[in-house]
């Protein structure tokens, strides 16, 4: 038997991905817009990670006190500065390749405090 408690529309050709909580398109999601900005100390921590990625390194930026479209915009600026691809997932900016120094310089230019962390 199917579990109906988490059911609902997941994808629609009209609006694309649907939010399971408010059942609206993700772009117009009411519950994500109301979510507060993540709390932190205001220091962006820049990590290099390769676990679970087939040996390929990825630069991760965590700890930015931003959420939603502002974080997406910053991710786009950092990807452009590095000349690389990437994404924003769960409040973490992922940039393909090892670009820790470039990301730190770009964040400093944009007025953010950045710190190299991890390996």
What is the domain partition of the chain in residue ranges? 4-33, 43-116
> Lowest-confidence range among 33-37, 85-89, 107-111?
33-37
pLDDT in the model for residue 39: 59
**For the whole model, what pTM was predicted?**
0.66
Fold entry, domain 43-116 = Translation Initiation Factor Eif1 (3.30.780)
User: What is the arrangement of strands in the sheet containing 92-96, beginning at the earlier edge strand?
Assistant: 86-89, 92-96, 58-62, 43-49, 113-116
Residue 25 tokens read as 């398109």
Residue with tokens 């100390």: 41
The more confidently predicted of residues 31 and 87 is 87
Given a cut of 80, is residue 74 above it in pLDDT? yes
């Amino acid at each position: 038997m199917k579990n109906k408690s988490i059911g609902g529309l997941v994808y629609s050709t009209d609006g694309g991905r649907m939010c399971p909580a408010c059942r609206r398109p993700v772009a117009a999601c009411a519950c994500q817009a109301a979510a507060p900005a993540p709390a932190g100390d205001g220091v962006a921590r820049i990590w290099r990670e390769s676990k679970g990625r087939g040996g390929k390194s990825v630069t991760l930026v965590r700890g930015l006190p931003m959420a939603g479209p502002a974080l997406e915009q910053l991710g786009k600026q950092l990807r452009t500065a590095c000349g690389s691809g990437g994404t924003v997932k769960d409040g973490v900016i992922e940039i393909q390749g090892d670009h820790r120094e470039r990301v730190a310089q770009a964040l400093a230019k944009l007025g953010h405090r950045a710190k190299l962390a991890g390996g």
